[in-house]
């Protein structure tokens, strides 16, 4: 067993003042899995507690839409519309927009996590816009059909 640093201001390991002998791990991760024991030291000597085994199970949930984009948006020629898509999961998915079958609208280096709003100014033609939410656990899509009314 290795000692853990509980005094650094950036540590995730906290020894609780209100509960002597209690170690709190903030935002536990898989790497925290292992045996832990308490060591008490004073001028008389050192004593060790029985070890406790910590098993960390990471919650894994594939992407799902918490707020899917609308199925259809009707706009007048030259109008603007904003399409918002919100997805959740664990890990949180990246969310991007695509026009038609292949035109990517969200730069790969600026993929937002969880939510993405597509701003469409001065719309001139009807088209399908697809929200894509992706993580290591899967990919989901939802399409909005933007229809231009010419009246």
* pLDDT given for residue 78 in this prediction: 93
Q: Give residue-wise pLDDT tens across range 91-147.
A: 999 999 999 988 998 888 888 999 999 999 999 999 999 999 999 999 999 999 999
Residue 130 lies in a domain: yes
* pLDDT given for residue 1 in this prediction: 66
Residue 8 lies in a domain: no
Helices vs. strands in the chain: H and E counts, helices first? 0, 14
Residues 74 and 39 in one domain: no
* pLDDT given for residue 12 in this prediction: 87
* pLDDT given for residue 61 in this prediction: 94
Give the 3-state secondary structure of residue 110. helix
Q: Is the four-CA dihedral 144, 146, 147, 149 of positive or negative sign?
A: positive
* pLDDT given for residue 29 in this prediction: 85
Residues 115 and 66 in one domain: yes
Residues 126 and 76 in one domain: yes
112 Cβ neighbours under 8 A, 6+ residues apart: 94, 95, 96, 106
Residue 111 lies in domain: 61-149
Q: Give residue-wise pLDDT tens across range 62-75.
A: 999 999 999 999 99
Average pLDDT, the chain: 91
* pLDDT given for residue 28 in this prediction: 85
Element (H, E) at 34: strand 34-36
- Torsion, Cα of 127, 145, 133, 118 (10° steps): 70
pLDDT for 44 beyond 70? yes
Candidate from 2-6, 8-12, 99-103, 139-143 with smallest mean pLDDT? 2-6
- How many domains are there within the chain? 2
pLDDT for 49 beyond 70? yes
- Torsion, Cα of 112, 118, 119, 121 (10° steps): 140
Q: Is the four-CA dihedral 63, 66, 72, 74 of positive or negative sign?
A: negative
Q: Is the four-CA dihedral 107, 113, 114, 116 of positive or negative sign?
A: negative
Residue 5 lies in a domain: no
Residues 75 and 144 in one domain: yes
CA distance 143 to 97: 9
Residue 93 lies in a domain: yes
């Amino acid at each position: 067993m290795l000692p853990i640093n509980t005094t650094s201001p950036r540590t995730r390991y906290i020894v609780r003042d209100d509960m002597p002998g209690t170690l709190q791990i903030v935002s536990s991760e898989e790497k925290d899995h292992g045996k832990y024991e308490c060591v008490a030291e004073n001028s008389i000597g050192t004593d060790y507690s029985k070890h406790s085994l910590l098993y960390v199970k990471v919650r894994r949930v594939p992407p799902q839409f918490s707020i899917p984009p609308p199925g259809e948006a009707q706009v007048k020629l030259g109008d603007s519309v904003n399409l918002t898509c919100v997805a959740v999961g664990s890990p949180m998915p990246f969310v991007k927009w695509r026009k038609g079958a292949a035109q990517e609208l969200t730069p790969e280096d600026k993929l937002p996590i969880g939510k993405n709003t597509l701003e469409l100014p001065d719309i001139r033609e009807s088209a399908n816009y697809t929200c894509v939410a992706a993580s290591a656990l899967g990919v989901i899509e939802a399409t909005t059909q933007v229809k231009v009314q010419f009246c």
